[in-house]
Structure 1
Amino acid sequence: MPDSKSTFHPAFVVFNIKNHVPIILEMENDGKQKALPTEKETELWLTLDTTVLQWIYAIISHDLLDTILERDTTTMKAWNRLRDIFQDNKHSRAVTLEYDFTHTAMKAFSSVSAYCQHLKSLLNQLKNADFSVDNSRLVLQLVSGLTESYKRVATLIRQSDPLPQFY
């Protein structure tokens, strides 16, 4: 990771976000009538919306882009379509990840470290799908997927009470 003192991010230059986003969110308007946006403000808003929409299009895969691309859409509509794609399939995603998690074995990896990193990655993905795996299950899965050369270590870990932390 680069040294944080030499890392520059454009967001650091923005000192007053109100200069870039001229909207104030509020729950109530206290009975005051809001002035209708001027043509210039509406044009600016449409330009900003198009800019953010292009940012979204630039950071998703071509498959996702083909799925959500629609003529004359807004950033909010595109964002909501993406949200629906990723959140509406939470359960089927969890089933697939659970299968991968329980069928992962060290023999498919170049090292113990790569094997552990893959299990940890699957664990994080399962958590993101609101399907948590506790430490004991993670350790037992790790041990059950070890190769024959780690048989003695696996036996020692299985006999530990409590099981050691995954790390």
Structure 2
Amino acid sequence: MASPGSSGTTGTNPLAGPDPVIIRDLNILDRVPVVLNHLTSTYYAWKMYFSLVFREYNLQDHIDGSVDSWFMEDDEEWMTIDATLIRWFYTTISKDLFHPVVSAEDDAHAVWTKLNGLFTDNALQRKVFLHGEFFGCQQHDSLVDDYCMRLKKLVDELRDLGEKVSDELLLSTLMAGLNDDFENAASNIRLITAPTFPKVVAYLKLEERRMRMSRTRATHTALIAGTHGGVPPTAPAPQPRPGPGPFQAPPPHGFPYPQQ
């Protein structure tokens, strides 16, 4: 039996729903390569990956609340797919999230709503925390890519809470947190035409590569100089100082030494 509102994905029937066998055998870890965890900034990526899977396999009616699973209990195919989605959710979350949301009576929509609520409830407190982390983010000794991605994850988390961070504010915060090695690079960013976050990240990664190569060349040059031409000459070995001549006893009082 086809589920209400489903578009065709199997056979030639335009009203047919997704094939339960295809959904059941899908390796969700290949499609959602992140684990949802309170300790890491993975919520935005986790939600985005799942949203793509829902769209690709026409599964929105299982998670958007448009279909009540109570009315679908006699539809074996629909219930099979719903159970598969629940298994996907439990497979892609950390152990500390499993116990707060697990319930034998929940359908896929209920589990999806619970998991999203864990990251969007208490929005005001979470916004305050994320704002402090965002504006205090510093590169320190981390690589440019790690630093920039850390900022981007914070922006994504704020967006999930309805707080949009403008590109101008993101770029300003990024430049303010760069370490001293990128002082000149930060000034040059202002010369980029229509700067965007991807453009600036690409430029900083190239600059980081250039500085790394420059340091390597300087070290190599110093080693060559020290090996071939930069070693100070060896001091000559000290020569023995001449000792006193043969001992001569003093002449008797009043008599000079004989002339040689």
Percent identity for Structure 1 against Structure 2: 29
* Alignment-mate amino acid for residue 158 of structure 2: L
Q: With the length of structure 2 as denominator, give the TM-score of the two structures.
A: 0.43
* Alignment-mate amino acid for residue 89 of structure 1: N
- Please state how far the C-alpha of 1:83 moved relative to its aligned partner: 3.1
Which of the residues 120, 143, 167 maps onto 2:152?
120
**8 Å CA contact 1:139, 1:163 repeated in 2:** no
Q: SS in structure 1 opposite 2:140?
A: helix
Post-superposition CA distance 1:33-67 (Å, at most 9, x none)? xxxx8x9x366655554333222222222111110
The residue correspondences of 1:11-26 to structure 2 (distance < 5 A) are 14-15=10-11, 17-18=16-17, 20=19
Structure 1 regions of 5+ residues with no counterpart? 1-12, 26-36
Structure 2 regions of 5+ residues with no counterpart? 1-8, 21-60, 62-70, 200-260
CA distance in 1, matches of 2:117, 2:149: 29
Match of 1:53 in 2: 86
Post-superposition CA distance 1:109-128 (Å, at most 9, x none)? 1x223222222222222222
Match of 1:147 in 2: 179
Q: SS in structure 2 opposite 1:107?
A: coil
**Pair 1:103-2:139 in alignment:** no
**8 Å CA contact 1:157, 1:163 repeated in 2:** no
C-alpha RMSD of the superposition = 3.5
* Alignment-mate amino acid for residue 105 of structure 2: D
Post-superposition CA distance 1:59-83 (Å, at most 9, x none)? 2221111101124333333233223
Label 1:129 to 1:18 Cα distance change in 2 as closer, same or farther (>3 A). Answer: same
Match of 2:122 in 1: 89
Post-superposition CA distance 1:101-143 (Å, at most 9, x none)? 111111141x223222222222222222221111221121111
* Alignment-mate amino acid for residue 17 of structure 2: K
Label 1:149 to 1:163 Cα distance change in 2 as closer, same or farther (>3 A). Answer: farther
Farther off after superposition, 68-77 or 139-148: 68-77
Question: When the two structures are aligned, how many residues end up with a matched partner?
Answer: 138
CA distance in 2, matches of 1:149, 1:18: 57
Label 1:73 to 1:92 Cα distance change in 2 as closer, same or farther (>3 A). Answer: same
CA distance in 1, matches of 2:175, 2:185: 8
CA distance in 1, matches of 2:109, 2:196: 42
Label 1:87 to 1:112 Cα distance change in 2 as closer, same or farther (>3 A). Answer: closer
Label 1:80 to 1:117 Cα distance change in 2 as closer, same or farther (>3 A). Answer: closer
Q: With the length of structure 1 as denominator, give the TM-score of the two structures.
A: 0.62
CA distance in 2, matches of 1:99, 1:18: 46
CA distance in 1, matches of 2:148, 2:125: 24
